[in-house]
A and B are shown apart, each in its own frame.
Chain A
Amino acid sequence: MAHVKVQRRSMRPEEYIALRYGWLKRYIYENKQPVTPVFIKEAHQIGDNSFEYYDSDYREINEGDMLYTPDGSAFFKFDCIIPNALSGQEVYLFMKTSSEIIVKINGRYAGGLDPNRSAVLISPFANYGVCKTEMYGFNRSKPDDERNPETSAGRGCRQIFGGIYTVTVNNAVKSLCYDCEALTDIIGSGAFSDEYGKIITERLNTALNMIDFDGDTLLPGQVLAAGQYIEQNIYADKAFKGSGRAALVAHSHLDLAYYWRRIHTVQKNLRTVLIQLRLMDKYPDYTYCHTQAYTYETLEKYYPEVFDELKMRIKEGRFEPVGAMYVEPDCNIPSAESLIRQCLYGQSYFRSRFGITVDSCWLPDVFGNSWILPQILIKSGVKYFVSNKMSTWNDTNRFPHNNFVWKGIDGTKIYACVPPTHFITWNEPSQIVENWEAFQDKSTNTETLSMFGYGDGGSGATEEMIELMHRFNKLSVMPETRHITAKRFLDENFTADKSFDVWDGELYLEMHRGTFTTKSELKKYNRLLETKFRDTELLCLLGRLNGKAYPAEKINELYKLFLVNQFHDILPGSHITPVYRDAIEDLKKIDSGLSELVPKGEGLFNTLNISRGGIEFIEQPNGEFTRLNKQGGFYRVCAEPLSQATALCSSENGEWFSLNGLRAETDVYSVSFAPDGSIVSLFDKKLCREWVKGAFNKLRLYDDKPGNYDAWDILPDYAVNECSISVETPLHFVKKNGICAELSAELITSSCSRLKHIIRLFKASEEIEVECIANWHEKHKLLKVHFEPDILTRELVCDTSAGYIKREMNVNTTWQQAKFECCTHKWFSLDETGAGVAVINNSKYGAGITPNGASLSLLRATERPDPVSDIGMHDFCWKIVPHGGSFTDAKINDLALIYNSPLIYADIENTPDFMRINGLFLQSAKLSENGKMAVLRLCEQNGRRGSINFNRSVKLLNMLEDEISEVKSISYSPFEIITLGINIG
């Protein structure tokens, strides 16, 4: 007997409800009158608020015509006629669009249109009769969300103009639509009980049965009756009880650059702010929070009238600045000083414009958070840390807390909120229930945070989200909700009388592990410029102490530009091609800008407060060696802290080094190489021990196919598919002198990427330098260099830039397994008691962890969002440092600082005594923001305690440079960062 699949062909009640809800929506807008003629001028945006126009003048556009071009903008102008017949009614401008549009009526900013918003209220900006209308439209390829099928289908670079209309709104129909939205979500989401869903279905069906949909106009009495039925039979029925409590906080996540360039964010931000201000006009109870001082700055600069309006709402407490930082930066890769500057410049802006110090750090989308953050935030006036990713994006383990205390590397504690659900929600009833159900701290906390509003490209909350919210407390089955500011939620929930679980460690995101490596050049510039900012400020401060002007304005301008480029979709590499080009252009501009601020000298200067005595490369026009594409030589350097340096060359010849086949002898090592430049054996003559057990300095290439989150992710099984790297020219001798011997191998991949693997051995030095010059033409590949030393350890020690973190290498638990790729800064070390092997790098941030060793991630080749990511030439170095004693005994951190802070050509006669500080790293030396103090930032990086006595009184500052006290000595504890101010008049 043939199998017959039984299919239901009649319409289910919930389907019939959905159908009529769809019909109902068609009756929201009434008195629809086309606006004609409409004129348009198309353009290409070339700056924050500047455009290249394709046409010399406006042209008329008619319904059905094509508009927008790739990467295009469109300027509309037309007269909007509001007939006297509509006197006393609210009149809207209506346009369905897949683009983003800012609407200006009679010279005033009226609101925004986009795929989620089709109408702008124009009555407050227009008298009846003719009103002059201008619209600025921006093409969009990545929508805020995919919820609106009508506009999603039309998105793309060439869109069809669907016409512009004036309309009025039937508020009764609209209100009934919002009822339907809330109730159909309850019926269809699966978040509520079947029994309750069945009752709602029956009663909503009954309500909609009251309306005759056959005519072309709905009878108002029927619509009102349906609404009343819902009030009396659904909202008034309290038989079913929900549980829990949720705070609803409106926000909009705005990526400064992602699928769009930073220049486009200026208008995205304006549209977002406008939309939220108009919602505040309509709903007196509505509050909204907005991050990133940078976005406020652009609004102030380009749209001062909207900024004034925003300021007024801030005074009222309804528009709420959150997030103390200048932008929402990546929080893995930037150094401690960069993160401090995010707070310093962010808070300075909020203080100067609004008179407030923002007490929250608001980073909903950041890809994990470094353990160094709590101290930085607390010392920057921040009480609360908010970040969502760990709860919703972890691929292995469920992050166990939502409202908790985060304990930082130095022991500083900060209140932390990792809301249970995504930071982009549209405030549906089911999303609130899901949030409460996922909330894991119910035993100690009674309220969960639910953020709502569209985001990524901004725009935020909609009228619908607010209307839904107004219905929640009428639905007894819902958790209790209240719409409040972020600050109120944080202040009322994180109080000293409550107990919180403590998370002591980094907030590692078990996803997006590729972002430590993607876009290698951005990482290289990041390291280079972090060092260069330090050097520049230090030298400018020394100049100021000698009576020269301190270029504070220029430094601040360059620093802010740098901080913008540490945004969490710029520095991590998760963006489209033009964003990368912009970033590189900015970073080059910063590089040259900093170079101009400090005059070059003849002598070499050690900018570190660390003595130098090792071998270093010094740039010279006719140098014997080429390293990182620069000519120079290797010298044994002798330099006291913050002093002029002496570089000694050796008068010896190269007899300290010999090579027999692939076996090299130095005064320190017997080394056996493989033809590819990897090290098979490294015997330490002084310690009489072998350092190598497995792969060591071994380049390995892997298939790297993480899927849709291509630029972001490396999958746990990346090592399964290793690809061959062939040796084109085996390791061979290149040159030697009294200090350095250089060997080189040339390798090639099956995709014809060429890798030049250069090894440098040094006389009387344990350090081995490796340079890799890559002509990279891969697709979905990951290049790593592996180290499996003869060291028994189960911990990889990684630099955080402000102390070290130990990561477990064994894979017994899922928490250990998930950390197969981590962020490291200048170095990592594999240590056993009394010995270890450290790898110091000059521009990398990704470290792979296996039970047998570690790898440094070098290059990736991803396709999304940037189809040509990382293709081209790369040149980077690392240093292998086998060491006796522990990594702290061997001063690995100092060596890494020296490796990343080359001597610079500068003539400094003397440095003041107050800058000569031992035991702590002088992380920054600058002129205070008020121009009256020398600010010294000291960082303990080796986990030690100690004290420092000064021969004068100094000010103890917080990181915002506010004075806390005056001291003559300080005690410091492990990993503490201390800011001091010295009056300089």
Chain B
Amino acid sequence: MEKYFSEVITPLTEGDGGKLEYKETYGGKVYVTARGECSKCNILNRCVKWAEQKIKADLNMDVSIVCIRKKPFFWDK
């Protein structure tokens, strides 16, 4: 999963100034951080859903992604 994120999901999100980055898989859930533009995106949930669907399509795995927004200190919480 970590390799898949680093090779597929993360580079695509970087293309729009963001970064969805794999952190760990725990309790059946995939934890990722949202940095850059992703961290303040109003529709991040749609992107997370897309990532889940893409993982299903590419890896044939059903995953639930938990996304943690890592906003820089100068962006509002």
Contacts and interface: CB of A to CB of B under 8 A. Distances in A.
Check if A and B associate. yes
B76 to A, nearest CB: 11
Contact of A142 (B17, B44, B46): B17
B66 interface: no
Interface residues of A, number: 33
Interface residues on B, range: 20 to 34
Interface in A134-169: 139-142, 153-159
Interface string B30-54: 0000011100011110110110000
B8 to A, nearest CB: 10
Given A70-B12, A70-B16, A141-B16, A158 B46 contact: yes
B7 to A, nearest CB: 14
A708 B74 contact: yes
A867 B35 contact: yes
Nearest to B72: A863
A69 interface: yes
A141 B42 contact: no
Contacts of A159: 43
B16 A71 contact: yes
Nearest to A44: B12
Given A71-B13, A157-B13, A710 B47 contact: no
A835 interface: no
A154 B15 CA distance: 18
Contacts of B26: none
Given A69-B12, A69-B50, A576 B17 contact: yes
A579 to B, nearest CB: 9
A864 B36 contact: yes
Contacts of B36: 576, 863-867
A259 interface: yes
Contacts of A107: none
A225 interface: no
A140 B41 CA distance: 12
B47 A157 contact: yes
A867 B19 contact: yes
A256 B77 CA distance: 31
Contact of B15 (A71, A705, A867): A71
B48 to A, nearest CB: 9
Nearest to B13: A70
A707 interface: yes
Given A141-B37, A156-B47, A867-B36, A70 B19 contact: no
Nearest to B70: A867
B55 to A, nearest CB: 13
Contact of B16 (A139, A707, A780): A139
A757 interface: no
A789 to B, nearest CB: 37
Given A141-B37, A707-B74, A710-B74, A156 B14 contact: no
Nearest to B74: A707
Contacts of A158: 43, 46-47, 49-50
Contacts of A142: 17, 37
Given A141-B37, A156-B43, A158-B43, A576 B14 contact: yes
A141 B36 CA distance: 11
B12 to A, nearest CB: 4
A402 to B, nearest CB: 32
B35 A70 contact: no
A577 B11 CA distance: 9
Interface in A683-714: 705, 707-708, 710
19 contacts: A44-B12, A66-B50, A70-B47, A71-B13, A71-B15, A72-B12, A140-B16, A141-B16, A155-B42, A156-B47, A157-B13, A157-B43, A157-B50, A158-B43, A576-B15, A578-B14, A708-B74, A780-B73, A864-B36
Given A141-B16, A578-B15, A864-B74, 14 more contacts: A70-B15, A71-B15, A154-B43, A156-B42, A157-B13, A157-B43, A157-B46, A158-B50, A259-B17, A259-B37, A865-B17, A867-B19, A867-B35, A868-B19
Contact of B72 (A44, A157, A864): A864
A261 interface: yes
B72 to A, nearest CB: 5
A156 B36 CA distance: 13
A638 B26 CA distance: 65
A415 B49 CA distance: 56
Nearest to A139: B16
B47 to A, nearest CB: 5
A140 B44 CA distance: 14
A612 B27 CA distance: 67
A484 B44 CA distance: 44
Contacts of B13: 70-71, 157
A710 B13 CA distance: 20
A70 B50 CA distance: 9
B77 to A, nearest CB: 15
Interface in A231-259: 259
A259 B74 contact: no
Given A70-B18, A259-B16, A156 B74 contact: no
Contacts of B12: 44, 69-72
B49 to A, nearest CB: 8
Contacts of A576: 14-17, 36
Contact of B18 (A141, A153, A705, A708): A141
A705 B74 contact: yes
A550 B44 CA distance: 54
Contacts of B42: 153, 155-156
Interface string A732-743: 000000000000
Nearest to B37: A141
Given A141-B37, A865-B36, A867-B35, A157 B74 contact: no
A141 B12 CA distance: 13
Given A71-B16, A577-B19, A710 B72 contact: yes
The 10 closest A-B pairs by CB, nearest first: A71-B15, A158-B46, A141-B16, A156-B43, A70-B12, A867-B35, A576-B17, A707-B74, A577-B14, A867-B36
A142 B47 CA distance: 16
A352 B17 CA distance: 37
Interface in B53-72: 72
